[in-house]
Structure 1
Amino acid sequence: MDLDLRLLRYFVTVAEELHFGRAAARLYISQPALSKQIRKLEDQLGGRLLERDSRHVTLTARGHRVLPDARDMIALATRISEQTTESGAVRIAHIFELQTSRIVADAFAAAYPDVQLIERSLDSLRQLDALLDKRLDVAVLRVTAPMAARYPTGWRFHRLRLEPMYLVGRPGDPPKATASLFERPVEVFADSPASGLYNAHGDYLTAFERHTGMSMRWLGNPGTFGHCLAAVHRATDAAYVLEFESYAARYGDVGIPMHHPAELQPYYPWCIAWRDEPLSPAVTNFLRIAEHTARQHNWHLPPHHSALPWVPPDDPTDSTQAALSTSSPR
């Protein structure tokens, strides 16, 4: 029997969460697709691994027996992968086309052109899973309070960047420095809590909704900038899109205005994370270059402007509040 390691990873994730929605969000697939893959694994193994109804998920006796072996097989595959990976390589991941990790990767490649970068695309939670599972060497991600509480050991992180969020208008809107969060509907390209694909970005936006009392339009996550831009061009009503600076500047490049929020300036806290273990020289140098790049671009201290700065109040990032206190309104 040829077992698919991907199916085993799906099973282990569901066994850890005992909830298909949360497991699907961790795996960044839809809940129906996850259920289908679990049934496929059960068919291959000839028996049920999970009992599920509308409210509960539990392991069957067979599931309890399979779980430790599944974990061992995944760990073995990871060790084999590490042995076949170039010893000097650094494995990282990007979140769509957001630029923080790419800027660091470019700086590292310029400083160490002989070290291979192996790059993937993973959201924050999947990056953390891959880091702890030794499928990544470094993660550039948003760390949430639940992530830090769930995995209290085995890794380390610190803040790399506070990325400002902008309000992006519609084609033909007049340029202006600021716009009110409340003068138009505010849209977000993100998966809602009910989508089954809710992630660290969604968690950030939910916190912002609660703080401001807004009710934003959740448009789903089309991923690449090109898809987001096309959606803005298709829109027929007046609204703003709350966007990362990484994307907002690209809207500006094609003539769509970007504005600082007038009432409150949200910042998205990016972290760099690594395993809490002896590091290879290549990974050590990557972390050093990342910190140098953050200082070079002044990523640690937000630029001064009139709106009060905001990050989620439960953000676990080191020194975030200290940094924000230096950027109070003039």
Structure 2
Amino acid sequence: MSEDVHLRHLRYFVAVAEELHFTMAAERLFVSQPTLSRQIHQLEAQVGAALFARDRRSVVLTDAGQALLPTARELVRAWDAAMVRVREASAARLRVGMSTTLGRGLLRRVRAAYAEARPSAELVVRQVGWEDATAGLADRSADVAFLWLPLPRPAPYDWLLVAEEPRLLLLSSGHRFAGRDEVDFTELLDEPWLALPAASGGLREFWLATAQRGGQPVRVAAEITTTDETYEALVDGVGVCLAAAGNAPIFTRDGVVAVPVRGLPPSQLVLAWRRDDRRPVVRDFVEAARRAGDAQGA
């Protein structure tokens, strides 16, 4: 096998081999189907053999795929077990994932509360692109994550609500609605919108407010994957987007304004963690977030 084969390729291969369905395997891995297909093609190029025979109706393992599957499973299981041992050995280190820089001073308050419980603990904050709506929980690169509801396939996760806020409209300061005190969402149906990547699933739909559009399709002007991309697209007048009230100050600098919107349910920010992760370091961080939220409410 080529030394360039990554564990990710093997993990994706095992998922497709077990599901025998690319769409179902992509949902299981929290990636888009084109991304999954691309990774499988890369693996087949590296091993020099087709691993699946596929047509429009079925996917089956080739002889080469059947030969690779037991070893691929063993390697993935061995790596996951090793990561569990590493996490246990570094129990004082906690990785926190997030897709957006947190406004409202939330992270600072949680850090302070966590330091009281674990003064020697190390927090590693990871910024994760919006292509991964779990901010690292799904691939275990984060131990806890600040996420927006709805969560993708929430069954593997528990979560704590840390903020509930109205959604505001972000737009260029030159937009015709920029000077308004408030707009109704029905006034925005024909606007060009900035959208999260398709891989973010239900999260993309929530921030496009598709449930409140009465079936009218969205005019997607551009996809955005980072805070900086969003700001630049807003300043250039490419489109408009929604943001939680607590995060709006991240964007409302030169050239971008925020306007309240009528007719939308609020956004909900949660701290999420894997349900099977019962380590005290995770429990203490969740309790710190709870205390920080209680202090904010008071």
In 1, distance between residues paired with 2:86 and 2:45? Answer: 32
Measure, in 1, the Cα distance between the counterparts of 2:108 and 2:58.
44
Alpha-carbon distance in 1 for matches of 2:221, 2:56:
27
Partner of 2:244: 244
Whichever residue aligns with residue 22 of structure 2, its letter is H
- Please report how far the alpha carbon of residue 282 of structure 1 lies from its aligned counterpart in structure 2 after TM superposition: 1.9
The answer as to 2:297 corresponding to 1:295 is: no
In structure 1, runs of 5+ residues without a counterpart are 300-330
| 3-state SS of 1:147 partner | coil
In the alignment of these two chains, the number of paired residues is 284
Residue in 1 that maps onto 2:173: 171
- State the TM-score, normalized to the length of structure 2: 0.76
Taking the aligned partners of 1:69 and 1:143, their CA distance within structure 2 comes to 37
Asked if 1:209 is matched to 2:214, the reply is no
In structure 2, the partner of 1:325 is: none
> Aligned residue for 1:254?
254
22, 27, 31: which one pairs with 1:19?
22
Matched with 1:87 is 91
Matched, 1:156 2:158: yes
- Deviation for aligned residue 1:188: 3.7
Runs of 4+ off more than 6 Å: none
SS in 1 for 2:264: strand
Supply the distance in 2 between the matched residues of 1:221 and 1:105 (Cα, whole angstroms). 31
> 5 Å matches for 1:255-294?
256-262=256-262, 264-277=263-276, 279-294=278-293
Structure 1 partner of 2:7? 5
1:157 to partner: Cα distance: 2.8
1:190 is aligned to 2:195: yes
Shift of 1:98: 4.8
Query: How many angstroms does 1:147 deviate by?
Result: 0.6
Structure 2: how far apart are the matches of 1:248 and 1:278?
32
Kindly state the Cα deviation for residue 212 of structure 1 after the two structures are TM-superposed: 3.1
The amino acid that maps onto 2:249 is: A
SS at 1:169's partner residue?
A: strand
C-alpha displacement of 1:93: 1.0
Distance in 1 between the 2:274 and 2:37 partners?
A: 31
For residue 73 of structure 2, what is the aligned residue in structure 1? 71
Cα deviation for residue 104 of structure 1 reads 6.3
Q: 1:117 aligns with which of 123, 128, 135?
A: 123
2:196–2:225 contact (8 Å) kept in structure 1: no
The change in CA–CA distance for 1:71 and 1:204 in structure 2 (over 3 A counts) is farther
Q: 1:230 to 1:96 in 2, by over 3 A?
A: same
Q: Give the partner amino acid of 1:230.
A: E
Structure 2 unaligned regions, length at least 5: none
| Alpha carbons of structure 1 residues 5 and 278: separation in structure 2 relative to 1, 3 Å | closer
Query: Aligned equivalents of 1:223 and 1:27: distance in 2?
Result: 16
Summarize deviations over 1:242-272 as a string: whole Å, max 9, x none: 223354223334353311112x133223333
Change (3 A) 1:209 1:65: same
The match for 2:139 is: 130
How much identity, in percent, do the aligned residues show? 24
- 2:54 maps to 52
CA distance in 2, matches of 1:34, 1:295: 41
- Give the conservation status (yes or no) of the 8 Å contact 2:145–2:272: yes
Displacement after TM superposition at 1:230 (Å): 1.3
Contact 1:49–1:63, Cα closer than 8 Å, also in 2:
yes
Say which SS state the counterpart of residue 273 (structure 2) adopts. Answer: strand
